[in-house]
Amino acid sequence: MGSAAVLADLILPFLLFAAIRIQTKSVNVELDFDISHGTFYAFLSAYSKFFYFLAASGSIVAYRLAAYSRDGAVTLIVSSLLSLLFVAWITFRYEMYMHARYPRNGMIGGSNYTPNAYAVTLALGLSSLFLFCDGLVVVGLAYIGGAH
């Protein structure tokens, strides 16, 4: 497998972005569900904790079991990096949304969470989750099949 697996790991977010962007409408997305100021923050906190967990556990498993499957370990490391990038991206986008939607002057503005930003968010999150599961399966099968 080797470099082909790494290339596939790196191409996946771009393919997901293209597929998601084709399917989404060309209107800006509301993050606060039009309920009240800051309602998405609870989701942001949960997403952050979950993807930090994926990043940490993927890195630990990759480090501990890299001897059994280098490709699986690389997949887990790519997943960990994408998880951290997802958390940084969604936090940045939510902060930008809050500043555009609820500026200090008291006027309520429009959403700046574009369909492209939405597609990047989904592509990063889904590819990170998929690659984490794929890496665990590859490393796990190599560990079970190898002499440990």
pLDDT tens, position by position, 72-121: 899 999 999 999 999 999 999 998 888 888 777 777 777 788 899 999 99
> What span, in angstroms and rounded, lies between the C-alpha atoms of 106 and 80?
39
Band of pLDDT at residue 56, cut at 50, 70 and 90: very high
If you average pLDDT over residues 32-55, what whole number do you get?
84
Decide if pLDDT at 51 tops 60: yes
If you average pLDDT over residues 37-54, what whole number do you get?
88
pLDDT of residue 34: 62
Q: pTM value?
A: 0.87
Residue 57 burial (CB count, 10 A) = 16
In sequence order, the 6+-apart residues with CB closer than 8 A to the CB of 101 are 31, 32, 108, 109, 110, 111, 112
